[in-house]
Amino acid sequence: MYDGMPRPLFSPSSRPRRRALRAAALAGALSATLLAGCGTADDGARDRRASASSAKGFPVTVDNCGTRTTYDGPPSRVVTVHQHPAELMLALGLRDRMVGTAFPDSAVLPELRKDFEAVPELAEKEPSFETLLNAEPDFVYGGYGSAFAENEGRSRKAFADAGIDTYLNREYCGKKRVSMKDAYDEILTVGSIFGVRDRAEKLVADLRERVDGTSRTVEGVSPVSVFVYDSGDKSAFTAGGKGLGTEIIALAGGRNVFADLDDVFGDVSWEQVVAREPEVIAIYDYAGAGSVAEKKRFLLSQPALADVPAVRNKRFVVLPLTATLVGIRPPHAVEDLARGLHPESFR
């Protein structure tokens, strides 16, 4: 199964809040000077958590990717690793709980940009364990499985040993299929953890209406055949039938030509792409995989692809990779893609 990390373009529980635990986790990596500065903020976070422990709806117990955690109150110092968890937090009105973000990989939704820019960016990619601890979080929310990479010292156990709770986007819990329902359930779960279930339910209702409205607009149209181009030159890395991308395409009035690929993502040959004659190519855009312009140039420069309808007619639709990941973006992607597939329906 696709591990969730972008591919290069040209290459195939209760929670103790004891400062001693945090210090123990830091001991092998930080100096005594750094350790000495942790006290005040840590005490403040613990006090805020204690005052919130009587909040309505708590305690909340969550089973997440094999990790069971009980929350006596909402987390108050949160770091998000990867962009889609950050956007979900902001969409729920939780800017005041966020003390850091990391790994932005596409443009932030316009309505969230101001709040996103107000949160300190800890790293351009995944931060080190020490960098995360320095932010003194009581909760770390990871978007891809790599947020908690054991070989880089960021295992969920390491955070637990430091008295820090963790949550991993459900898309990376090893599920065999990812759907729009997962996106809605993710929002509701995070809303429960932070004591804002009512906000989460309203957000989900709004997103459902966005999807339903788009689907009504393209109702009755002939589905347009779509090939998703993520990356690759010797072969094409594309969206398979078990990923959210295929459902987004269907809701937008399209048909993924590789819906029969038995995975979330996978490699296919260019000969297969030619044989399936896609009418539109959906290009996934994200940092580190070559620009959209580079991807278009590559596709247009390949003689073998010259007779593919999408290439011949230069029909490309661009979607940020984050738009296809479990979170708040997929409903937006349905509308954006539908406008590209059926522009006549939106005039």
Q: Rounded CA gap, 166 and 304, in Å?
A: 47
d(CA 80, CA 139): 9
Q: Is the pLDDT score of 334 beyond 50? A: yes
pTM over 0.75: yes
Is domain 221-346 classified as CATH 3.40.50.1980? Answer: yes
Q: Which residue has the tokens 């070559």?
A: 290
CA distances from 271 to 63, 228, 279 (A): 43, 15, 16
Spans of all domains in the chain = 19-204, 221-346
| pLDDT for the residue 117 | 96
Alpha-carbon distances, residue 340 vs 18, 145, 158, 280 (angstroms): 53, 31, 45, 9
pLDDT at 217: 96
Q: Are strands 78-81 and 316-320 parallel, antiparallel or unpaired?
A: unpaired
Confidence of residue 107 (pLDDT cuts 50, 70, 90): confident
CA distance 101 to 99: 7
Q: What is the pLDDT of residue 174?
A: 86
Separation of alpha carbons 275 and 330, rounded Å: 29
Consecutive H or E run containing 166: strand 165-168
Predicted local distance difference test score (pLDDT) of residue 5: 52
Band (pLDDT 50/70/90 cuts) for residue 288 is confident
- pLDDT at residue 55, as a whole number: 65
Q: Is 126 within 8 Å of 154 (Cβ atoms)?
A: yes
Half-sphere exposure of 242 (CA within 13 A, CB side): 14
pLDDT of residue 35: 35
Residue 18: pLDDT over 80 = no
Average pLDDT of the residues of the chain: 87
The model's pLDDT over 227-267, given as tens digits with 9 standing for 90+, comes to 999 999 999 999 999 999 999 999 999 999 999 999 989 99
Would you say the CATH fold of 221-346 matches that of 19-204? yes
Say yes or no to pLDDT of 21 above 50: no
What's the pLDDT score for residue 290? 87
Which token pair is 8?
């290069």
Residue 171 CA to residue 173 CA, distance in Å, equals 6
pLDDT of 278 over the 80 cut: yes
State the pLDDT at residue 34: 37
Superfamily of domain 19-204: Nitrogenase molybdenum iron protein domain (3.40.50.1980)
Q: For residues 154 and 166, what is the distance between their CA atoms, to the nearest angstrom?
A: 11
Instruction: Specify the range with the lowest mean pLDDT, choosing from 2-11, 53-62, 68-77, 124-133.
Output: 2-11
pLDDT at 44 over 50: no
Tokens of 22: 């945090």
Is residue 347 predicted with pLDDT exceeding 90?
A: no
